[in-house]
Structure 1
Amino acid sequence: MQLTHIDAAGDAQMVDVTAKQVTHRIAVAESYIEMKPETLQLIVEGGHKKGDVLAVARIAGIQAAKRCSDLIPLCHPLMLTSVKVHLQPQLEFNRVLVTATCKLGGQTGVEMEALTAASVAALTIYDMCKAVDKDMVIGGVRVLEKSGGKSGHYIADQQA
């Protein structure tokens, strides 16, 4: 197996997708941020002095997906047709689960955009809540599902 972002000389390169077919592509990624129960309660009840933490994190995740190619050097700039960021407080785990879904019709996948959205949404929660909880932990960043293109349909933890 060869890395696609490295050429024969070992130099970094942006993958040439010129000859690839335009297909409908979707990627879903997740992350989570664990915190103290009282921090999560503050978020859920809307009592945070900085405002609606989940709303701000959702917008940050959407913006991050749109700016992915500015953050990750070899990513293609993409014309995303949809970005959805869902934030689900999970009281039983003292965390917020972040799920990001990105879509487009294009020549390359949207996994990096979904991963970036999920990560930045969690980072935004950290930023907004760090004054009350410095022990928060962000984790579980992964692609859950992707489809479109010649590699087919991928679902995490399953044979597709």
Structure 2
Amino acid sequence: MSEPVRGDVSEVEGGPEYDLNFREHPERYRHTSDERGAFKIEPYKGELLPDWTISDLGPAAEAAQAIHDRYREYRDADDFVGMDMARKYLQMGWTRSMRYAKYPGGQKYEDGREREPRTWYDPEKRRIARIYRFHLDRVRNDDAYARAKARHREQYGEN
């Protein structure tokens, strides 16, 4: 599995963060469609993680909106790495809350075996998932995001 950065980048001692400011070095960022790097790519982790939650409906709805607002700020600043990191946090809100919506305690596995998902075990987490998915879809369908991703790949040689 490839890392979401190009080349060797050391990690901060005592923490999982890369020892690199990706706002200053966007060329080191590698786009991935998954959530890899969400807890490592600074300064975006520090800007987005404090807003992110799936604990309760009210705070989660505010969090999804706040992250989408940050996405728009990054878009206005022509900051693809920030845009993509905001997308990752929205995607993470959707996937994590869906897991809790389907599995008691969010535990997909029990004794090393995958549990059978329950149809909407936790209705509140399903509502949270739908809110995050709404904002995620808005980002994914944003022409500015698609253009910025293509420009980033072209500029920095990603496949």
Q: Identify the structure with the greater strand proportion.
A: 1
Q: Which has the larger radius of gyration?
A: 1
Q: Identify the structure with the greater helix proportion.
A: 2
Higher relative contact order (CA 8 A, sep 6+): 1
